[in-house]
Amino acid sequence: MNRFRRLAPYVLRQRRLLMLIGLLSLLAPLLAALAPLPLQYLVDHAIARKSALQIVTAVCFSLTVFALGAVLEATSTFAWTLAGQRMVIDLGGDLFARLQRLSPIFHSRHSPGDLLVRLGGDTYCVYNVAETLFVTPVQHVLTLLLIAVVAWRLDARLTVISLALAPVMAASVYWLGPILKRRAKQQRVNDSSLVSLVHQTLGSIPLVQAYSSGKRNVEQYRALADHGVALRQKTSLINNASSVISGTIATLGTSIIVYLGATQVMKGAMTVGALLVFIAYLRSLQGAYHGLLSLRNRFKTAEAAVDRVWEIMDAPQRVIEEREATAFLTPAESRAIAIELDRVSFGYDPQTPVLRDCSLRIGAGERVALVGSTGVGKSTLIGLICRLFDPDQGVIRLAGQDVARLTLESVRRQIALVPQEPLLLPVSIRENIAWGRPEATEDEIHEAARVAGADGFITALPLGYDTIIGERGMTLSGGQRQRLSIARAVLKDAPAIILDEPTASLDATTEAAVMSAILNALQGRTCLVIAHRLSTIRDMDRIIVLDEGRIIEQGSHDELLRAGGRYWQMHDSQLSPVGGMR
């Protein structure tokens, strides 16, 4: 039940509309009780007396009841759609906010397709739950009570008999519930994997085409689809079985009432019109019963979706802001900040540590390069400094302040990151560059682009800075994307800048130009660069060589070359004369 209680805030936020709906729900059963009366009047009085006036009265009466019903229905549908959609939007907004803040580790384990289904589809559970918990039951219970009272006055014995059939109907619906829930879950899982497959395929079109795996993907799609068809058919069968069973019981009830009622009419204890009214009431009663009983099943179906929503909301957040976290205090003396790692260990899963007991201090304004083989943990180290992850052990400090004690936002504000893969959004180039500082002026944006060596190609585009970038920046080359990503970081103008292979897809000439421009523009900032091309980092203040999650060498370019260690090896391998050519 707890899972539903947690939905309460979303529901209660719409209490005004819910109150309106509640009010309207009171009127609905009243109309249900009135609806069959015109017929009784017609049969027992108007026709019997052959009075045209009375017939007209009966007809007008019935039209009025109808019109009232229509207005009532429209108003409550309107109110309910508005309230329900608002609940869904609120829940979806929270879920989205949560998803954005979960660490990249979480996202590496969940496919975006599945997450999108949860966001776009499963959030409707709040609508369903609210409807089944609050709206429908109120209406049905009221109908049941009111009609039972009215029917009792018409004929007590028949009312008792019709009410007695209720438990039988209840039992039939009851045992189908769990089966339906299981089916609903299977169906959702299958749908999710289908969406994931499609998403995955469409997200990697270049690969799909180059390896002509299109046919295979369609086959996989078909296999999942066939499974989906089978599941849907089974669900339909179970769903219908339940409605047939309760319908049969209801019809049996009607037959009994008709039989007993007819004998009453023959005895003169009841008029024909009264019998007709009674039959109509019986239908209303059964409708209300049925509605109430099916609530359980709809509830069960919603349960599966609710669970999938909470699963995300409850996913352990690896980076948690402390309750009493404070904002970063900007040191008075300098715009640059020192970065310090103190005996830090970290692993994506605890068994395989990526960084082991790693200590490192980068002074304020120092320019440091990080080198080492692929996969030794360079990018991880950067992720830790930006608090995309938190270390398993050890402390990370910015200007002497433990980042774990600071608010996430203030930490990330201190650092401009150029990630290894330039992540661009399908908005204009201007917005992409100004992403970290939306308030930047046009001049500042152009200047940042110039520093990153991007100004040239941007102005060559027909729309210039207004060019909208295709999804994942596909119309730009890798180097162009990288330069936009650099411009973005330059514009952010944070006290520390971290570049994760900023120039891997640039040619050597452009690279040298971009690198020197960046270092010039960021005079006095703390700067950490990862690079594989050693020509990029020759002029850095200090070079740190990382291996197996530990620092094995550090010093300036010349010092390391003289030491003749790993750095010298790497240097030799990359910059050796081109004698290896055939």
Partner 1 sequence: MTYWWRRILRHAGVPVGPMVAIAALLAGASAAAALAPWPLKLLVDLVLKPDADVQRRYGWLRALPGARDSDLALILWLCVAMLSLYLLSQGIRVTIAYLLSGLGSRLTYRLGAEVLSRLQELTLVFHSRQRVGDMVQRVTTDSGCVRDLVCGVMVPGARACVDLIVMFLFMWQLDRLLALIAIAFAVPLALVIRWCTAPLAERAYEQQQVEAQVLSLADQTLGALPAVQSFTREPEHDRQYRVLNQRLLVRQVAAMWAQLRFKFATSGVTALGSATIMLLGGLAVADGRLSLGGLLVFLAYLAALYAPMETLSYLSATYANSTGSARRVLEVLDTAEHITDAPGAQYLPAPSLPGVHEIRFSHVSFSYRPGQPVLRDLDLIIPQGQVVALVGPTGSGKSTMLSLVPRLLDAESGAVLIGGRDVRSVRLASLRDRIAVVPQEPLLLPMSVSENIAYARPGATLDQIQSAARAANAEEFILRMEGGYGAILGTRGATLSVGQRQRLSIARALLKDAPILLLDEPTSALDPLTERNVVDALARLSLGRTCIIIAHRLSTIRHADRVLVLDEGAIVQDGTYAQLVAQDGLFRQMHQVAHPFAAVEVRT
Interior CA angle at 237 toward 233 and 242, to 5°? Answer: 150
Task: Output 105 or 517, the one with its CB closest to partner 1.
Answer: 105
Compare residues 141 and 570 and give the one whose CB is closer to partner 1. 570
**C-alpha angle with apex 443: 442 to 448, nearest 5 degrees?**
100
Binding window for partner 1 (CB under 8 A); candidates: 149-157, 159-167, 296-304, 433-441: 433-441
Residue 161: CB minimum distance to partner 1, A:
14
> 295-324 mask for partner 1 (x: CB under 8 A)?
------------------------------
- Specify whether the CB–CB gap between 303 and 1 falls below 8 A: no
CA distances from 479 to 187, 453, 503, 520 (A): 44, 10, 8, 20
- 154 near partner 1 (CB under 8 A): no
Cβ–Cβ < 8 Å for 287, 243? no
The position carrying tokens 């594989």 is 532
Residues within window 368-407 making contact with partner 1, judged by CB under 8 A: 371-375, 378-379, 383, 386, 388
For partner 1, the binding residue among 19, 207, 327, 563 (CB under 8 A) is 207
Site for partner 1 in 323-362 (CB under 8 A): 348-349, 351-352
Site for partner 1 in 60-119 (CB under 8 A): 60, 62-63, 66-67, 70, 74, 77-78, 81-82, 85-86, 89, 92-93, 96-97, 99-101, 104-105, 107-113, 115-116, 119
Instruction: Return the SS3 of 521.
Output: helix
In angstroms, what is the minimal distance from the CB of 297 to partner 1?
Answer: 16
The least CB distance from residue 83 to partner 1, in Å, is 11
Position 475 contacts partner 1 (CB under 8 A)? yes
150: left (phi over 0), alpha (psi -120 to 50) or beta: alpha
Cα dihedral 559, 562, 565, 568 sign? positive
Q: Which stretch binds partner 1 (CB under 8 A): 149-157, 301-309, 422-430, 521-529?
A: 422-430
Residue nearer to partner 1 on the CB measure, 129 or 458: 458
Among 210, 324, 443, 520, binds partner 1 (CB under 8 A): 210
Helix (H, G, I), strand (E, B) or coil at 396: strand
Query: Which of 19/59 has CB closer to partner 1?
Result: 59
Chain positions 131 to 150 lying near partner 1, rule: CB under 8 A, are none
Q: Counting Cβ atoms within 10 Å, is residue 366 exposed (0-12), middle (13-18) or buried (19+)?
A: middle
Q: Which residues in 223-242 contact partner 1 (CB under 8 A)?
A: 225-226, 228-229, 232-233, 235-237, 240-241
Min separation Cβ 233 and partner 1, Å: 4
Nearer to partner 1, 251 or 393 (CB): 251
> Total residues contacting partner 1 (rule CB under 8 A)?
174
- Comparing CB distances to partner 1, the nearer of 447 and 548 is 548
Single-letter residue type at 188: R
Nearer to partner 1, 248 or 330 (CB): 248
Binding mask of the shown chain, residues 155 to 174, with x at each position contacting partner 1 by CB under 8 A: --------------------
User: Taking the complex as a whole, how short is the minimal distance between the CB of residue 142 and partner 1, in angstroms?
Assistant: 23
Q: Cβ–Cβ contacts within 10 Å for residue 531, how many?
A: 22
Choose among 1, 287, 296, 300: nearest CA to 174: 296
Burial label for 16, CB within 10 Å (0-12, 13-18, 19+), is exposed
The residue within the footprint of partner 1, chosen from 367, 492, 525, 542 (CB under 8 A), is 492
In 184-312, where do the E strands start and end?
none
Number of residues assigned to the chain: 582
Q: Which of 511, 528, 549, 560 binds partner 1 (CB under 8 A)?
A: 511
Tell the residue number behind the tokens 């580790």, with chain if given: 105
Q: Minimum distance between the CB of residue 449 and partner 1, rounded to whole angstroms?
A: 14
Concatenate the DSSP letters of all residues of 237-271 into one string.
HHHHHHHHHHHHHHHHHHHHHHHHHHHHHHHTSS-
Note whether 516 binds partner 1 by CB under 8 A: no
- Sort 137 into a burial class: Cβ within 10 Å, 0-12 / 13-18 / 19+: middle
Q: Which stretch binds partner 1 (CB under 8 A): 21-29, 125-133, 152-160, 475-483?
A: 475-483
Three-state SS letters, 50-107: CCHHHHHHHHHHHHHHHHHHHHHHHHHHHHHHHHHHHHHHHHHHHHHHHHHHCCHHHH
Listed in sequence order, the residues at least 6 apart from 220 whose beta carbon sits closer than 8 Å to its beta carbon are 197
Should residue 222 be labelled a site residue for partner 1 when binding is judged by CB under 8 A? yes
Q: Is the dihedral of CA 18, 20, 22, 25 positive or negative?
A: negative
Shortest Cβ 517–partner 1 spacing (Å) = 14
The residue (of 137 and 247) whose beta carbon lies closer to partner 1 is 247
Q: For residues 579 and 574, what is the distance between their CA atoms, to the nearest angstrom? A: 12
Shortest distance (Å) from residue 273 CB to partner 1: 10
Check binding of 459 to partner 1 (CB under 8 A): no
Contact set for partner 1, span 547-576 (CB under 8 A): 569-571, 573-576
Which residues, 240 to 269, sit near partner 1 by CB under 8 A?
240-241, 244, 247-248, 251-252, 254-256, 258-259, 262-263, 265-266
